[in-house]
Amino acid sequence: MTASSTAIPTHANCLARDAADPLGGFRDRFALPEGVIYLDGNSLGPLPKSVPERVNRMLVEEWGSHLITGWLKDGWMELPLTLGDRLAQLVGAQPGEIAVVDTTSVNLFKMLSAALAMRPDRKVILSTSDNFPTDLYMAQGLAALLDKGHELRVVDPDDLDCSLDETVAVLMLTEVDFKTGRVHDMARLTAAAHRVEALTLWDLAHSAGAIPVDLNRSRADFAVGCSYKYLNAGPGGPAWLFVANRHQQTAHQPLTGWLGHAAPFAFDLDYRPADGIRRHVCSSPGVIGLVAFEAALDIMLEADMGAMRRKSIALQELFITLVETRCGEAGLRLVSPREASETAPFLRGGQVSFAHPKGYGIVQALIERGVIGDFRDPNILRFGFTPLYVGFADVFDAVEHLKAVLDTGEHLNPRYTDRASVT
Amino acid sequence: MTASSTAIPTHANCLARDAADPLGGFRDRFALPEGVIYLDGNSLGPLPKSVPERVNRMLVEEWGSHLITGWLKDGWMELPLTLGDRLAQLVGAQPGEIAVVDTTSVNLFKMLSAALAMRPDRKVILSTSDNFPTDLYMAQGLAALLDKGHELRVVDPDDLDCSLDETVAVLMLTEVDFKTGRVHDMARLTAAAHRVEALTLWDLAHSAGAIPVDLNRSRADFAVGCSYKYLNAGPGGPAWLFVANRHQQTAHQPLTGWLGHAAPFAFDLDYRPADGIRRHVCSSPGVIGLVAFEAALDIMLEADMGAMRRKSIALQELFITLVETRCGEAGLRLVSPREASETAPFLRGGQVSFAHPKGYGIVQALIERGVIGDFRDPNILRFGFTPLYVGFADVFDAVEHLKAVLDTGEHLNPRYTDRASVT
């Protein structure tokens, strides 16, 4: 169904859809300030109400009461793996394929190192110009460190297929474009990479919790992701990495910390990798951030991913329809794919982006009205549609605010010149 | 003053010293369970009472209320640097020389990479067999990745001086031995390294908050450290790194993430390092862990480091005296240096270690009695003396428990066979 084929919805119509929404009950699980319509969960998810209680319990009852013994008694030491096993349920992985650890960038460095070492005769890391820049920067840093002639080849997304050849060691992609929400077809591109015996490394920062992810069915080799966008674990929450079972014995990465040692408490002078995913855990895990993620993830695992995706698309299509009908003369241009699918290939992720020459001012004026989206240079307005806490009437109201901003010229206020923004 | 020169103290004597202790007021700032004597702050500091309140405020008032805007409004984005500047006060660094980021192991990888790149013609990383193994493992991982003939040369601590020659690129040491508490002389060894034009990389995991640290006066080049031992930031709390001002323009490390970019929100496809310490921050900071550290650090900055060191030594000397007089026949052998100094060279850090063939059982039996120390293979009993929440009567009582364990043979209980322990 395309957005343009829907009839123009009314506010009453939206309220009725909210009343009938099978996911409607989840909204109360999140702390959202009165009067705020939050369309930025693609950048930072809101606070799950269960998180402060869970974090406080860890602080007071675990750390405060058990002190050092909490590492074993409260399972802190194993959290990177136990939480990884829970996350695996959401992204189509097996237990033992995911560790929750470090940051997305650091994990990308680890996984890219491991993948390149498995293709020693190839020198090309293939990626796209729509990748989130940190992934490109980390690959540049690794290639320079290796100093063996590796090339980060950054191509236009449309040129990916013709760029996949026998020189490619690793196809490194972010599944969902952070600016436009365009989705790369993970299964198809992984198969194409495998046909030339390249490995794949997927960044799922804008995928996990946003769209159905099935790492095993897609035959992905390596993946990384974050927790603080669609997974609601809090600002800078712990990241994760995935290594397919079939690569676990051959995948070695260079950040060989003591907790990835086969016998960490033997304190040997020489590193020996632990079996399995554990070798990719370097350091004592940051427990406070991990339990926040655990509490947030529990909510996601309660919800049905298919229902979430269905509602996310419905919210997005409503938004596109309303923007184009209510604000059609204002010069907003849809830069996200117009089509989206409930199943792979997904085409569009969890966000809708428009371009407008005064985009920065529009986003700022909307924020002042309590409608929180964000802006990306040079002219992109991003809006995330997260079905557990955003409703149809929210979307209706958001577009009315957008129309009011454009009609009154609030966005032309000269103080909207500072371009500071965050991912 | 050596431990053996003190008269044998009585319980009343210890209570009197506690009553006169200028740091006595700090004990109430920490949550310590009733009946526990905590001598393991060298592994994991206890919960500062201010931490749950500060963390909850960040969760509810910042994240919950400000959502994405907290990155700027609440200063989250700058926390690695603002908190680094506060930490700098404790370890003798200038503002702009420290970033609080990632883990100790990852930071060591970054700093070692930077240092090796500054000495391209040299191939030796010199370290000691008393270094914490993760540092050696990370150096091994980096050397293997570089594949340019770097050698990690691990020598006996007593052979350091004669091993420092013109082949050494980096002298990489942990200032305080994690098993014995023996302290390397940072200023003297740094000067010795500089005489052969080697750079120094200091791991201060067991130093910061334990002994006076003066990075600038010692002329240290690079350093890393953790927050969860003597700095009480909670299990796996955020780590930190130091780059001396004189190296900030030439120090480049390979984990080149987007937040270390000169213009992170320009989303350029190519990495350009930010000026100064910021280039060593890769990723969105883990805010929950950072604010916990901030609250914990505030307490340390209130206390006088000289007074802390004085009391720490007094507690340690009391412990050594009492163990040797009360438990003299039990076969406990002091493996820490017997001498300690208030000022550099410090000789012994914040802990006292004894060796005993039944060490594991003794530590476990003590824990059952509420006296928490820890055990390190093969036979080391470690006890940390952290002056803000441990008193003289605690030390007296701890030794009485130790004597009772040894007298009754509680430590010989056959269930003490599992050697699981944590750093």
Structural domain spans, chain B: 3-47+304-412, 75-301
Closest CA to B292 of B212, B221, B234: B234
Q: By the 8 A CB rule, do B83 and B100 touch?
A: yes
Please report the pLDDT score of residue A7 as a whole number: 73
Closest CA to A378 of A337, A333, A414, A318: A333
Minimal CA separation from B195 to chain A, in Å:
28
How far apart CA A239 and CA A251 sit, in angstroms, is 19
How far apart CA A330 and CA A192 sit, in angstroms, is 41
| Structure token pair of residue B386 | 């952290």
Q: Which helix (H) or strand (E) holds B241?
A: strand B240-243
Torsional sign, CA B266, B267, B273, B276: positive
Please report the pLDDT score of residue B82 as a whole number: 98
Q: Which helix (H) or strand (E) holds B383?
A: strand B380-384
| Structure token pair of residue A221 | 């080799």
**CATH class belonging to B3-47+304-412:** alpha beta
B420, pLDDT greater than 70: no
CB distance from B145 to chain A under 8 Å?
Answer: yes
The reply to whether A75-300 shares the fold of A3-47+304-412 is: no
How far apart CA A62 and CA B42 sit, in angstroms, is 18
Helix B50-57 × helix A50-57 angle, to 10°: 160
- Band of residue B202 on the pLDDT scale cut at 50, 70, 90: very high
Minimal CA separation from A166 to chain B, in Å:
24
Is B242 known to be catalytic? no
Fold of B75-301: Aspartate Aminotransferase; domain 2 (3.40.640)
Asked if B286's CB is within 8 angstroms of A235's CB, the reply is: yes
Q: Which strands sit side by side in the sheet containing B124-128, from one edge to the other?
A: B98-100, B240-243, B222-225, B199-203, B168-174, B124-128, B151-155
Q: By the 8 A CB rule, do A107 and A139 touch?
A: no
Give B132's contacts in chain A (Cβ within 8 Å): 258
Query: The tokens 């594991």 sit on which residue?
Result: B360
Asked if A72's CB is within 8 angstroms of B283's CB, the reply is: no
CB distance from B52 to chain A under 8 Å?
Answer: yes
Give A28's contacts in chain B (Cβ within 8 Å): none
Strands (E), A204-295: 222-225, 240-243
Q: Which DSSP letter does residue B67 get?
A: G
How far apart CA A240 and CA B379 sit, in angstroms, is 36
User: What is the CB neighbour count within 10 angstroms for residue B130?
Assistant: 17
Please report the pLDDT score of residue A316 as a whole number: 98
Which residue in chain B is spatially nearest to A44 when comparing CA positions?
B68
- Band of residue B333 on the pLDDT scale cut at 50, 70, 90: very high
Q: Is A21 left (phi over 0), alpha (psi -120 to 50) or beta?
A: beta
**CATH class belonging to A75-300:** alpha beta
Asked if A43's CB is within 8 angstroms of B109's CB, the reply is: no
**Residues whose CB is less than 8 angstroms from the CB of residue A262 and which lie 6 or more positions away in sequence, other chains included:** A272, A273, A274, A275
| Structure token pair of residue A122 | 């190839």
Q: β-strands B333-334, B240-243: how paired?
A: unpaired
Minimal CA separation from B211 to chain A, in Å:
21
| Structure token pair of residue B119 | 């000495």
Question: From the list B129, B138, B255, which residue is nearest A269 (CB)?
Answer: B129
Mean pLDDT value across chain B: 96
Summarize pLDDT for B253-305 with one digit per residue, the tens: 999 999 999 999 999 999 999 999 999 999 999 999 999 999 999 999 999 99
Q: Is A75 left (phi over 0), alpha (psi -120 to 50) or beta?
A: left
Give A97: exposed, middle or buried? Use CB within 10 Å, 0-12, 13-18, 19+: buried
Asked if A285's CB is within 8 angstroms of B236's CB, the reply is: yes
How far apart CA B18 and CA B389 sit, in angstroms, is 11
CB neighbour burial string for B35-68, b if at least 16 within 10 angstroms, e if fewer: ebbbbbbbbbbbbbbbbbebbbbbbeebbbbbbb
CB distance from B221 to chain A under 8 Å?
Answer: no
CB distance from A157 to chain B under 8 Å?
Answer: no
Question: From the list A113, A265, A283, which residue is nearest B421 (CB)?
Answer: A265
Q: By the 8 A CB rule, do A405 and A350 touch?
A: no
Strands (E), A91-234: 98-100, 124-128, 151-155, 168-174, 199-203, 222-225
Which residue in chain B is spatially nearest to A76 when comparing CA positions?
B235
ipTM of the complex: 0.96
Summarize pLDDT for B139-173 with one digit per residue, the tens: 999 999 999 999 999 999 999 999 999 999 999 99
Please report the pLDDT score of residue B422 as a whole number: 45
pTM: predicted TM-score of the whole model, two decimal places: 0.96
**Residues whose CB is less than 8 angstroms from the CB of residue B213 and which lie 6 or more positions away in sequence, other chains included:** B90, B91, B92, B175, B186, B204, B207
User: What is the CB neighbour count within 10 angstroms for residue B369?
Assistant: 19
Give A240's contacts in chain B (Cβ within 8 Å): none
- Band of residue B4 on the pLDDT scale cut at 50, 70, 90: very low
How far apart CA A93 and CA A422 sit, in angstroms, is 30
Q: Which helix (H) or strand (E) holds B37?
A: strand B37-38
Closest CA to B86 of B201, B247, B208: B208
Summarize pLDDT for B114-134 with one digit per residue, the tens: 999 999 999 999 999 999 999
CB distance from A373 to chain B under 8 Å?
Answer: no
| Residue ranges of chain A whose pLDDT lies below 50 | 1-5, 420-423
How far apart CA A360 and CA B178 sit, in angstroms, is 52
Q: By the 8 A CB rule, do B214 and B204 touch?
A: no
Rounded (10°) CA dihedral A191, A196, A202, A206? -60
